[in-house]
A and B are shown apart, each in its own frame.
Chain A
Amino acid sequence: MIESIRGRSLMSLHDLSRAALVEILDTAESFVEVHRRTVKKVPALKGRVVASLFFEESTRTRLSFETAAKRLSADVLSLAVASSSVKKGESLRDTIATIDALGIDAVVLRHRSSGAAEQVSRYVPHVRVINAGDGLHQHPTQGLLDAFTIRQVLAQRRGVNAVETGSTVFEGLRVLIVGDVMHSRVARSDIDAYVALGAQVRVAAPGTLLPMDIDAWPVEVVGDFEDAIEWADVIGLLRLQHERGAGSFVPSLSEFTAIYGLTASRARRLRPETLIMHPGPINRGVELDSTVADLPAAIIERQVSNGVPIRMAVLYLTVAASPSEVV
């Protein structure tokens, strides 16, 4: 178990302790305030260089990482894969070596292959590597911002300071994750975070989209989405991953939607306080009905905006903080 990500790379939430997670959430909370300033910048990473390498398409993750780095006053080297020599067949190792030769402190890496971030950290052990999504493996900052958003909303409802709640809002919190768990790195990171923070997690998915080893996961599988709707305090919907061939794991999209989609009629049975989350991009009309996505209970845009403080916190803790330092 890792007790703090200070001065370390961040590959996965699988091995982070509750204390390490709370430290990140608390640090992010302190950066929320920066967003409200006229000058949205702090000097925490002044003179540091963060390389942002996205080998797979991304809008929100890339923008929010780069925004986060800039708000911390870091210099950002951004590699647009489409226009780089990667297109000319340059290997991952050579690309990293090239970027490293320019002098960098951290690499934010998105790659379609599981384990790519770990591989990169072997090439450049002196650089902090932050996994921004690798294949089907992990998307740690998404898991963190989801947990952060839940804590923020629940603390606000209770009229208390989010930092003071620590992890208490998660004690016994009932989270239902629905959809393509098997192909989802978000589900893996979310479940790691929620379980470590004390939540109860259930998953609902077609049998073909459940991981082969789901019985060994610290979750309960529910056969019927319907049955769990009223149980849930939080419903986390997952994107059906067409690009990974998930479409052929179900007979048809319409059948998937009929059984596992959060349709308008199903949404009417939700308790009013139940939160609806989605990591984006949404397949509107597949896992989530368009009108439901726009309900106040759907905190999807909040997830997006919280991406910035969470990624500021991760960059700050991994790059600026040495293991002994105290904030």
Chain B
Amino acid sequence: MASVVLRNGLVVHPDGAEIADVLIVDGRIAAVGRDAGVDPPSGCRVIDATGCWVGPGFVDLHTHLREPGDEAAETIASGARAAAVGGFTAVLAMPNTEPALDNVALVTYVLDQGSRAVIDVAVAGAITMSRAGERLAPLAELAALGVRLFTDDGVGVQNAAVMRRALRYARPLGVRLAQHCEDAALAADGSMNEGALSSRLGLVGRPSIAEEVMVARDLVLVRSTGAPLHFLHVSTARSLDLIVRARAEGLPVSCEVAPHHFTLDESACATYDANFKVNPPLRSSEDVEAIRRALRGGDVDAVATDHAPHAPQRKDLPFDEAPAGVLGLEHAASLTYEALGAVGSDPQRFFAVLSRNPATIAQLRRRDARPRHGAHGGAVEVGDDGNLVVFDPSERWVARREGLQSRASNSPYLGRALVGRVRCTVVNGAVVVDEGGLT
């Protein structure tokens, strides 16, 4: 029997934490307790987690793995390795591949490739065929394969009638739609946040209202259909405000924020470096502050990376010509820890936004009984699948290009000093990352 014990860490449960050992046997948690690892089975791998947080492995709701179609930027295998190093035990592969994940054959392909990857790869399907915003994709057929989240991410569904129809169709299937909120006509060909800085730099702006208009529209649609909706990469204070009010009203909405939106503001674009170009764009410092507050205060359900690899030659273009998107998987946990207050961070909140809430939204919890992958975002209790992460909150390190597992290197954080680092990642009972590196 293969076994691992994570010894003497701060084990973070949903409602409390304790210094304890976690014993994993045959892929499942067999014991949690002060002395659970004192007398491990023979051949048991022992990992000293003293001073570290031990919790459920992170779940990323928003990963662009680029396969099929742009394997020069990333593959399912390379993206999964980057995710593992970042402490993720499961990711949701976004459907804006080439071609888009809008049919059974392609979703099956990604799930098959994913089953050979170092972590669990679940799939988000497209809402509409080719993500063109016109005809519904086969949501029911894809749901039968285990797809629980659908999005045309990269773009929002522009036509309100199509979005309304998709919500009505999705509701009885028990799946959730997720929206990339940007009104295409307002965002147009803008390449950074619209404001004084874009005007001075001569870059066409992508206004915050492009996002807020669609958030507001979709809340109206959710109210009328009753179908749940997840808001991807919310980037403005007003968007958050709309979502918070809707939640208070009882609407079935959830939202995520991306690390770059709570750690970087638009001023990063001033050197015209396309590694700071994302959609929605980096916003004002007031927006960044509002998102950090919401993250700490509980108004945000999840941190999601929007990991968006691009081959180097595609990012090395003039700002307005380069594609949008930055890497995210490998630094997300450290950046979240920093935003939650570093030393003052609340470990419950940390695992809520990085693991338990996203696992709930993606329906990857134990109760969801998924056919093709293990359960994630658990309470760290006996019987849970062995999907765990050991996070060392005291480690200080610097993000470097050389250390990246992703095929691409379009990270906006290279050279940045980070606090807290993933020490060890356990996926379905197997140690895939130890001492910060792949095993």
Contact = CB atoms under 8 A, between A and B. Distances in A.
Contact of B199 (A113, A116, A118, A213): A213
Nearest to B320: A113
A180 interface: no
Interface in B290-338: 313, 316-321
Contact of B201 (A111, A122, A137): A137
A114 B199 contact: no
Interface residues of A, number: 23
A211 B271 CA distance: 20
B385 interface: no
Contact of A136 (B202, B271, B318, B321): B202
A119 interface: yes
Given A92-B318, A114-B272, A136 B203 contact: yes
Contacts of B202: 114-115, 134-138, 185, 188
Given A113-B321, A136-B203, A118 B316 contact: no
Interface in B175-217: 194-196, 198-205
B316 A114 contact: no
Contacts of A14: 200
Given A91-B313, A91-B316, A115 B196 contact: no
A118 B272 contact: yes
Nearest to B313: A91
B196 A216 contact: yes
A213 B196 contact: yes
A212 interface: yes
A14 B196 CA distance: 14
Contact of B320 (A92, A114, A188, A211): A114
Interface string B101-113: 0000000000000
A4 B195 CA distance: 29
A93 interface: yes
A91 B272 CA distance: 16
- B198, B199, B271: most-surrounded residue (chain A CB, <10 A): B199
A93 B205 CA distance: 25
A213 B205 CA distance: 11
A212 B194 contact: yes
A115 B205 contact: no
Nearest to B196: A213
B317 A114 contact: no
A211 B199 contact: yes
Nearest to A211: B199
A118 B317 CA distance: 12
Given A188-B202, A213-B196, A92 B317 contact: yes
B299 to A, nearest CB: 29
A69 B98 CA distance: 48
Nearest to A136: B202
B317 A91 contact: yes
A261 B222 CA distance: 49
Nearest to B316: A93
A25 to B, nearest CB: 24
Contacts of B320: 113-114, 135
Contacts of B321: 113
A118 B200 contact: no
B176 to A, nearest CB: 36
Interface in A4-34: 14
A118 B320 CA distance: 13
Interface in A187-229: 188, 211-213, 216
Contacts of B271: 115, 118, 122
Interface in B110-155: none
A188 B198 CA distance: 13
Interface in B319-377: 319-321
Interface string A112-156: 011110110010000000000011111000000000000000000
Contact of A113 (B196, B313, B318): B318
A298 to B, nearest CB: 27
Nearest to B204: A136
Nearest to A113: B318
A188 B203 CA distance: 13
B265 to A, nearest CB: 16
B318 A119 contact: yes
Contacts of A213: 195-196, 199-200
- B196, B199, B202, B321: most-surrounded residue (chain A CB, <10 A): B202
Interface string B222-235: 00000000000000
B319 A115 contact: yes
Contacts of B316: 91, 93
A35 to B, nearest CB: 32
A115 B317 contact: no
A91 B316 CA distance: 8
Nearest to B322: A113
A81 to B, nearest CB: 14
Contacts of A135: 202-203, 318, 320
Interface in B53-97: none
A113 B271 CA distance: 13
A181 to B, nearest CB: 10
A122 to B, nearest CB: 8
A111 B272 CA distance: 14
Contacts of A115: 201-203, 271-272, 318-319
Q: Enumerate the 6 nearest inter-chain pairs by beta-carbon distance, A residue then B residue, closest first.
A: A137-B202, A115-B272, A113-B318, A114-B202, A136-B202, A213-B196
Interface of B: 194-196, 198-205, 271-272, 313, 316-321
Given A118-B272, A185-B202, A212-B198, 17 more contacts: A92-B318, A113-B321, A114-B318, A114-B319, A115-B202, A118-B271, A119-B318, A122-B271, A135-B318, A135-B320, A136-B204, A138-B202, A188-B202, A212-B194, A212-B205, A213-B195, A213-B200
23 contacts: A14-B200, A91-B313, A91-B317, A92-B317, A93-B316, A113-B318, A114-B202, A115-B201, A115-B202, A115-B203, A115-B271, A118-B272, A119-B319, A135-B202, A135-B320, A136-B203, A136-B204, A137-B203, A138-B202, A212-B195, A212-B198, A213-B195, A213-B199
